[in-house]
Amino acid sequence: MSDKNIDDAISWYIKMRPVYKNLANKVESIIREVLTNSGASYYTITSRAKEIESFTIKANKEKYKNPQQEIKDLAGIRVITYVKSEVNNCCELIKPLFELDHFHSVDKTKELGNDKVGYRSIHYVAKLTEDRLSLPEYQIFKDMGFEIQVRTILEHAWADISHDRNYKFNGVLPPDNDIERRFSLAAATLELVDREFDNLAREIVVYGHEVVDKVNKDELNIEINTTSLSNYLDLKFKPFIDREIVEPTFNNKSKEIIDELNAYGVSNLSDLELIIKENTEKFIYERTNFLGLLRDIMMLNNITLYFEKAWSNNWTGIEKNMVKYYVSRGINMSEIIDKYDLSEDEDDDEEDYDFFLDEEEVG
């Protein structure tokens, strides 16, 4: 290709790059919406238009006679999942959304074969469907293609380390000291770890299904852990979760709340069921999550036991609405607040706060 053709290609891409960036953003939004609404698990979704410098380097390669038509990743979208099974699930959801170019799409894992290790990722080359292109906001993208990559976190780490042209591992590695062999061993180890994470994730899912089955049968002699506790609460408080009164998360503190439950004397689901029974409404007085809900369950059942055995100063301060509700349940909040120095939030009005405490005496 002559220098003039290269210059023309670069000028064309400089002009078109904002459109490709817009296309990448649109496709990212489509994929994100579908994966999120379907409940698919993924780590992150990103998009970009190829940088001018990257386009220039690629366009100069001998194999590209017409860079404008032959370079397929001018708009790129990357979906990163936690484990391999999630890659497969995301791919099944993504494929029907677009018109795929099967000739240029590739599964890098299959390209490696069974006797090699290295870069692994699924690449789809695609265009928007005719149905979508018929909408006014998408008509500008007619005949424009994009590439979608789907890979795990560990595959992504390997790709970044081994393919970044500015890093030490790019290109042909020196043969001294078995560097190339050790690099291959590192790739194989990463692949084994990726597979093991996938297997562990599958086993946790299977265990979760077993917990649900046992809970439905009232077989609750199950040790409390994050999975068993989450599945039990999902079923027990389903009406409140469906109404978005209870958020089914532990706020990244599942270990902390399980430690509190164990200190309180609750080590399996049957212990927790004895406290809750069918009185789920009793423990709901405001929007909350599993972390707050479990603390309310313990405190409303026996607040003295909770603070003596489980609290361990894991949280401080107590809100007015919490005080009011606990007082309405006949709990002496003045004594608890004084004994454990549970000072109110700084923006709480002290007189209003004391008023809620006074309701104990009025009641």
Q: Which pLDDT tens digit goes with each residue over 26-43?
A: 999 999 999 999 999 999
Q: State the angle between helix axes of 350-362 and 333-340 in degrees (0 to 180), rounded to the nearest 10.
A: 130
Spatial CB neighbours of 236, under 8 Å, sequence gap ≥ 6: 276, 280
Pairing verdict, β 288-289 and 246-247:
parallel
User: Distance between CA 146 and CA 169 in Å, rounded?
Assistant: 28
Instruction: Kindly report, as residue ranges, where domains of CATH 3.30.460.10 are found in the chain.
Output: 3-174
User: What is residue 319's predicted lDDT score, i.e. its pLDDT?
Assistant: 84
Residue 49 has pLDDT above 60, yes or no: yes
Q: Which pLDDT tens digit goes with each residue over 192-231?
A: 888 898 999 899 989 999 999 999 998 999 999 999 999 9
Q: Which pLDDT tens digit goes with each residue over 286-337?
A: 999 999 999 999 999 999 999 999 999 989 888 888 888 999 988 888 888 8
Q: What phi, psi does 147 have (nearest 5°)?
A: -115, 135
User: What is residue 180's predicted lDDT score, i.e. its pLDDT?
Assistant: 72
At 356, the pLDDT band (50, 70, 90 cuts) reads very low
User: Distance between CA 231 and CA 248 in Å, rounded?
Assistant: 9
Q: Which pLDDT tens digit goes with each residue over 325-349?
A: 999 988 888 888 888 888 655 454 4
Pairing verdict, β 122-127 and 145-152:
antiparallel
**Dihedral over alpha carbons 169, 172, 175, 176 (to 10 degrees):** -50
Architecture of domain 3-174: 2-Layer Sandwich (3.30)
pTM over 0.75: no
Provide the mean pLDDT of the chain.
86
Nearest to 119 by CA among 161, 181, 62: 161
Amino acid at 109: T
Q: Which pLDDT tens digit goes with each residue over 82-138?
A: 998 999 999 999 999 999 999 988 876 655 554 444 456 789 999 999 999 999 999
Burial classification of residue 333, based on how many CB atoms lie within 10 Å of its CB (0-12 exposed, 13-18 middle, 19 or more buried): buried
* C-alpha distances out from residue 114 to 85, 118, 163, 181, Å: 19, 11, 21, 17
User: What is residue 106's predicted lDDT score, i.e. its pLDDT?
Assistant: 80
Strand partners, 150: 79, 122
User: What is residue 343's predicted lDDT score, i.e. its pLDDT?
Assistant: 62
Residue given tokens 């397929």 in the structure block: 72
Q: State the angle between helix axes of 254-264 and 226-236 in degrees (0 to 180), rounded to the nearest 10.
A: 80
Residue 164 has pLDDT above 70, yes or no: no
